[in-house]
Chain A
């Protein structure tokens, strides 16, 4: 290490030395091991839990399928380690417009089949671009705002970034996939925060967001303008009064809360968890996986999972603080916040304190796109961490 540091002063040689520093041995040493540990633990725990959750489903346990996704995700994770985040920054335009193009293609295909379509069928597996797009979106948006870091105090910069970010958000929103659109919004917020947008500007934006949310949900509908389809609005607001219509819109919610509560301190076990086994709890392998896990493994089981998530986001914040430049810091911060946002909204929704949206629980919900995307996100975090303190050419 010392010798490397000496050599780095010889500027002509630096590039080569730097790449050597990121050789296999150096890489392994420079990984964030607590984060690696948390990742392995949460993936293993998720596989074990999903096996129990899906064991009595019609198709049988999803363990094999999920393991394949884990394998594919690990490969992507490893690949991400080798990519210098600067590459993303340099390629932000093709990344951004490519993602937009794929999203428009999905929308057009969905329009052709007259229904909501969020995925592309690639034969062995249907791929959801909006899921994968989360990370890509962050990479592009961070690049956009990092370029404007000098003028970040001026209102034009955040407004431009919002305009840049809003295009994919709207495309996801009209798919319609409100849950994922909210995740994108969270990422946008985190990007603005880390990039250093003034507090006063952030406050104005926050107020605007709250007012427009209220408008979409309550004010405009009462004036006769429906931005959301009635079922969407009902899902978003249903959690505030779950007993309103226990067999209708909030049926899932009632069943989910019952499942979580029935789990108790120790859980009901795989066989005893009737909410899951008898299918009272719909979508228990995907959207409501947290409720099923809580029913089967109780407060202890659910807490283990939450603590693992906490460990991951804590390490992610450390990586933000140690990032080598603003771009990396923004990317890491946005990934951390996005991850937390998904964990929070998903598990809070199953407990009746957040709107019902189709956001998957990271590393637990059955689904290839989500699994692979989360692996990629953590891979980028590790990649940023590995390159901490290696200064870019000014």
Chain B
């Protein structure tokens, strides 16, 4: 402690003001001493307490630590049921048992752990490999379990509980399984529930999801997951040193079940639509060469007033139950594996919204309305309907060479004259540049080329090409001078009959026909109606939140022009030469609608080159004077609209109105 001042003081008399060290006053010394004593006392307390805990009672606490095996269990909340519009249960829960692995209690050595999981796999029918992979993905948290299987069978439960001693770290817990009383009905609309993936967990962690949660993957299960999932409860369970439960679990918080989701779907109509699809495909195949490759399709039924989706069918389909409980890789492959899906013609696709088709003649009302709005045609004008139309040396044929006469709009719609509409297409093409692209603009106004806002996805927006978008698609701009990028007259001509540069989804088309039916307002389609508390013991249903309809948006279409189109559609189903008069002419309810037979290049297995196959369409509504139902049907590769799609659509109307025109579906409302 040689301070400079002290050392200096030893040799020379110091200047008291500079060399004298700061004097430790007795008062301060006393206080520092007090502090020192306090410090010593506090440390003494710490040492004594440490001694008391660790040495005097160490054995007792060691025993307590070894016996410290409280596990926090998650009590699964039952997922909310899904109801149809009339309250029929479409998706419910059945009690099941799940198998959990608790990493803390599993054997510590790799070989013992592997051996145990192998014998567990032998009992439950899973794969030890998968379980190990799941454990690894789970990370190092030893006190939350890994769910390796849901939906254990009774004999497996008995075996595991009888041999619990051989399976340390394996626990069975109550769980709920989704059950589908109507089997495959509305499969793509309902969607399925699966284990949350690590990426999804990362995204949803902030919203209270746990890594062991189930998550709605598609359909309404995904859209309304936050309402359906409910809130898990918690319980404390004490286990012994081998991980076996000691006594019953102590519930801390009870699980609160998910809310019931009511859909706008009418299950009877849905069933009729799905049956109609299958029948339509069968009809197409029976009709001969044109429809021989029919293998899929979709039907949409809408309420034209508010856009409620009453039925949405897609074929081929699947059983959502294959995602429940023990999973069979073979059954799941068509839904999860791209090549297997290709082989099975994509049963997972919701063709009503996720697939777009060329609309063919069902698009003609769009052309007609746009032409009238733009003053390119008046409904009374007679335009020749010739067997073919030649433009720039290119020949555009009518669907039949047998007609050669002048027609007004309603007749042209009724008989679906292509050359009449080719002529309109020419007029659209010849418009001066400052008029823009009114055909495309009106198509967009009618909801084409954009998703409809349906609450269930995934929706594709389809295609309404413009010269600009076409040029861009082929690598432009610049556009001029490149053959590929130029918008040719043939594109406008073919677009007028819904070919070539137009792709639409069945839902978009149904929405457009709903607009025709309701007098020019565009509805927003929706499937979820409300979430509610299901009344138990005769308590009334309490609606918690209504999703329901958004008010229809006016499109600005001229009511008179619309009137002519409606007339044309009604003639199409009733006049002697109407394209679907043979199907709807004798139905007691006045149905108006349009066929479509759109060509699309398909690569068929076994054929070297793509072949042109005809997509069978029918869209329409009824009753004509006060529309209640819009139906749009597509049979992929089904041939002419009148042979496959129209009869399928009729079946839906029959279910809705009754064969004799008596409304039946709403009887149970």
Contact = CB atoms under 8 A, between A and B. Distances in A.
Contact of A265 (B6, B18, B55): B55
A262 B64 CA distance: 8
B49 interface: yes
Interface stretch (B9-17, B190-198, B654-662): B9-17
B477 interface: no
A250 B48 CA distance: 22
B51 interface: yes
A21 B39 contact: no
Interface in A174-197: 190, 193-194, 196
A286 interface: no
Given A299-B51, A302-B54, A394-B17, A389 B22 contact: yes
B20 A391 contact: yes
Contacts of B139: 58
A388 B22 CA distance: 8
A391 B46 contact: no
B49 A391 contact: no
B50 A303 contact: yes
B50 A9 contact: no
A203 interface: no
A278 B143 contact: yes
Given A259-B65, A317-B36, A390-B4, A5 B53 contact: no
Interface string A322-359: 11111001000100110010001001100101000000
A294 B39 contact: no
B381 interface: no
B336 interface: no
A274 B143 contact: no
A275 B50 contact: no
Given A57-B140, A247-B236, A264-B55, A193 B62 contact: no
A8 interface: yes
Interface residues of A, number: 69
B183 interface: no
A294 B17 contact: no
Contact of B5 (A337, A347, A389): A389
A275 B63 CA distance: 12
A39 interface: no
Interface string B56-75: 01111110111010100000
Which of A2, A268, A314: most chain B Cβ within 10 A?
A: A2
Contact of A348 (B17, B31, B35, B46): B46
Contacts, number: 186
B464 to A, nearest CB: 45
A337 to B, nearest CB: 7
A233 B252 CA distance: 22
Chain A contact residues, majority secondary structure: helix
Given A279-B141, A353-B45, A313 B39 contact: yes
B27 A196 contact: yes
A261 B32 contact: no
Nearest to B53: A261
A183 to B, nearest CB: 14
B29 A389 contact: no
A257 B61 contact: yes
Interface residues of B, number: 60
Contacts of A299: 50-51, 54-55
Contact of B141 (A58, A298, A320, A351): A58
B2 interface: yes
Interface string A282-297: 0000000000001100
B32 A320 contact: yes
B31 to A, nearest CB: 6
B132 interface: no
Given A302-B50, A351-B50, A340 B42 contact: yes
B43 A310 contact: yes
Contacts of B182: none
A299 B58 CA distance: 10
A321 B551 CA distance: 83
Contacts of B547: none
A5 B7 contact: yes
Contacts of A394: 17
B3 interface: yes
Contacts of B7: 1-2, 5
A56 B21 contact: no
B140 A58 contact: yes
A340 B35 CA distance: 11
A209 to B, nearest CB: 16
A389 B18 contact: no
A45 interface: no
Contacts of A302: 50, 54
Contact of B58 (A8, A262, A313, A320): A262
A185 to B, nearest CB: 15
Interface in A35-62: 56-58
A257 B57 CA distance: 11
Given A193-B35, A324-B21, A389-B21, A261 B42 contact: no
B406 interface: no
A255 B61 CA distance: 10
A83 to B, nearest CB: 19
A87 interface: no
Contacts of B47: 303, 306
A317 B35 contact: yes
Contacts of A6: 8, 12
Nearest to B66: A274
Contacts of A58: 139-141
B89 to A, nearest CB: 38
A260 interface: yes
A114 interface: no
A263 interface: yes
A229 interface: no
Chain A to chain B: the 4 pairs with minimum beta-carbon distance, closest first? A5-B8, A261-B61, A389-B3, A262-B65
Given A58-B140, A194-B31, A353-B45, 16 more contacts: A1-B8, A194-B28, A196-B27, A196-B28, A259-B61, A260-B50, A260-B54, A265-B55, A313-B39, A321-B29, A321-B32, A325-B22, A326-B22, A344-B46, A348-B45, A351-B53
30 contacts: A1-B2, A1-B8, A2-B7, A4-B8, A5-B8, A5-B11, A8-B19, A9-B19, A11-B18, A190-B35, A193-B35, A255-B68, A260-B50, A261-B53, A261-B60, A262-B62, A264-B54, A274-B66, A278-B104, A279-B141, A303-B47, A306-B50, A310-B43, A317-B36, A320-B32, A321-B29, A344-B43, A347-B46, A388-B3, A390-B3
